[in-house]
Every structure is written in structure tokens, then in C-alpha cells.
Amino acid sequence: MNLTQLRRQFPALTQQVAGKSPIFLDGPGGSQVPQTVLSAMSAYLGYYNSNLGGAFFSSDKTVELMANARQAAADLLNAPSRDQIVFGANMTSLTFSFSRAISRDWQAGDEIIVTNADHFSNVSSWQQAAEDKGAKVNTVLINEADCSLDLAHFTSLLSTKTKLVAVTYASNTTGSINNIKRIVEMAHAVGALVYVDAVHYAPHELVDVQALDCDFLACSAYKFFGPHLGMVYGKREHLEGFTPYKVEPAKDVIPGRWETGTQSFEALAGLIAAVDYIADISELDDSHSRRDKLASAFAKTKHHEMALSEYFLTRLVNYPKIKLFGIDDLDRLAERTPTFALTFAGLEPRQVSEFLGKQHICVWDGNFYAQGLCKQLGVLDTGGVVRIGCMHYNTIEELDKLFDLFDELL
């Protein structure tokens, strides 16, 4: 992977701000975007902006675009069919919509499971649906040593009363990756459905919904180098079996029965370009399928991101005033993304992010809607954490500049 050549594809990475090259370590909040994505969105809006179902060329182009976007998403997630991909404004809106449909038949005595590892888009939606139906909500704790899910606690909460398990693939705050395949197996053994939040995982690892056997999986294109767009994969029997809240004239066939209103077609154009951008990292020719290219590309980016994680964690041990939440074992780098949750002795998280921001190093501070996690770790009421988040376009040299500023700050 030629990192210099790759970075040139991102306008944000080549700009100057007040005479300095900005450093984007804010990837978990939204990645930067390559020029191919920007061009695809502009081209659609400039030449073909239309809606579906018209008897003219630009509407035909939009119909084709929609089909191609579904196929790109299906290739990214390894969905059996593009008809099993549902688009929407964002993951949160889609999850609230799905939670209402899935919970229609819940009743008092039913139970659901959420976790302290999750962004609250995959918690509040299910909590509120359960409250509406009188169902009980159980919450899985995390192992505080590495911020992974406490699977023993999860096992104790599972029962034949469990209707659904909502769980994140990887923490958007600490980067810890959860064993989703095992969780799905355990949930299915008691007859429960599993709704997976893969928003943070999808930019870093290859998703395979068929291998996971999950019932639903949600992610967002703006986290993997695309525009603001949400998507949900669902098993066919669920997309056809559950009854969504929809506008009456809309056709009652999948996946459209789950999609309310007019989609952002320019965002769909950007999604296709984003998936193809990732696939092109493989440098494989067109004799290979897009899915094969994606597998090769993610293997390359994972290798680079693990090197970034190793470098970051190796340097961090020299800073006793900085506390890390999450996996710090160099032998377990494959179990985390290059996302690091930190607190600084004597400094509030906002003070740290503001100090770095003045030097045009972009990082986030706060709880990142992972309210349960931050509460269990005891940082919710003290400003949360500072989050350093690397993507495959980040470099060792950028991390060196970050640590130089840590020296100055401390």
C-alpha cells in the first residue's frame, strides 16, 4: 500500500491551514473523503438529479444508480442479495425505525439485551421500544480491564424470554472488538434476534453478515470514506416478515417497504465510489470480483492500522500521566481498532482537545454517545475521554507530532 499516493486522493489531507498541514485523528467521528467520492456526488447532482419512476433518461439513471448502490453495499457486507440492503438518512434513524417494527409484538414479560459497549443509537432505540411494550431491558457490563464485553454476564442474562440482543461490533470509544459470531450463536440458541451496530467496525475490517449469521447489521458510509448515509442489512425472512411503518401508496416489497421518503441519490453515488475506493486499495485487476478486492484491501489496511496501534501503544507507556481505556496488549492488536480512549492527569478532556486543535491536530473529546461505557468507567461526569482515532490514511509521522505535543502539554 503506497501511503503517499493514497493520501493524495484526499483533498483534506493535502490542504494547508494557517501554514500547517492538519492532522486528522478524528476518524471515529467521521472519516475524510477521497476525490472520487466528491466527483461522483457532484456528477450525479450536476447531470442526472431526478427521482425514481420517471419516463426519461435522468430518472432511468437514478434507478440504475439505486441498484448499483445496493450491490456495492451488498458486496461490502457480503449480503446474499442486494434486496437485503435498506438505505436511510443515518444509522440512528434506521435503527429507531427498525426497533418500532421489530417490537410490534413484544409484550410484558419479554426481555431484550443491550450493552454498555454500545453507542446509544443501539441502546435508546431498543430501550424505548421495550418501555412502550412493557418489556424488560437487561444491560451487559464490560470487562473494565480491556473494555470488551463481559460474556459471562451476557450468558447470565440470556433466557428463552430474550427477544433481541443489540450489540456493537467494535466500541466507537475504546476500539475493542467484540466476538459477534459467538454472541449470535448464543442468542440464536435461545431464539433471540441479533441487531449488530457495525458503524465503527466497518472502516477497519471486512464485514461478512453470512459468516456472522446475524439477523440485522447497520453501518454508516460517512465512517468509511463516503457521505452521510445509513444502511441496514437484514435477513430476507425478517425484511419480509416484520411490518414496517410506511406510507400507504409505497410498494410493499423489500427493500423499498423499509425506506421512507426520497433517498439521497447523490449520497448513493458517493457510497458506490467509497466502496470502489476501498476495493482499489487491493490493486487487483478487474478479473477479480469487487468482494475479493475488498478482502485484499482490508487485509492491507488492517496490517497498516495494527502497525499504527503498536507504535501508539509502545510510545504511550512512557506517559504515566495518561491513562488508556481498552486493549493495551501488543499480542492482541487484532482485537482492537486503532482508536484510543485517554484521560490526562490534572486536565479535562476538553482542555486537551482544544490544545491540540490550536495546532490543527483534530481529535474528539466527550462520551461519544457511549454513555453506558463512560458511566461504568467513571468518566461520564468528568468530561469523558480524549479519543485518538487513526484510519488507514494516517501515518507514524503524524503520531510523532501528536506525542511531541503531549510532551509540551504535560
Q: 142-169, pLDDT tens digit by residue?
A: 999 999 999 999 999 999 999 999 999 9
Reduced to 3 states, what is the DSSP secondary structure of residue 328?
Answer: coil
Q: What is the residue type of 267?
A: A
CA separation for the pair 203, 275 (Å, rounded): 10
Mean pLDDT on 13-28: 96
Reduced to 3 states, what is the DSSP secondary structure of residue 382?
Answer: helix
Of 147, 143, 144, 136, the C-alpha closest to 113 is 136
Which DSSP string corresponds to 47-102? Answer: HT---TT-SSHHHHHHHHHHHHHHHHHHHHHT-S-GGGEEEES-HHHHHHHHHHHH
Q: What is the pLDDT of residue 337?
A: 98
What domains can be seen in the chain, in order of their start residue? 3-34+290-409 (3.90.1150.10), 40-276 (3.40.640.10)
CA separation for the pair 310, 25 (Å, rounded): 16
At 404, the pLDDT band (50, 70, 90 cuts) reads very high
Q: What is the residue type of 180?
A: I
190: number of Cβ within 10 Å: 13
Q: 352-361, pLDDT tens digit by residue?
A: 999 999 999 9
pLDDT higher than 90, residue 27: yes
Mean pLDDT on 247-253: 90
CA separation for the pair 243, 238 (Å, rounded): 9
Q: With contact defined as beta carbons under 8 Å apart, do 193 and 164 qualify?
A: yes
| Helices within 168-289 (DSSP H only) | 180-189, 209-212, 236-241, 265-280
Reduced to 3 states, what is the DSSP secondary structure of residue 211?
Answer: helix
CA separation for the pair 283, 165 (Å, rounded): 38
Q: What is the pLDDT of residue 98?
A: 98
Q: What is the pLDDT of residue 384?
A: 98
Q: What is the pLDDT of residue 249?
A: 86
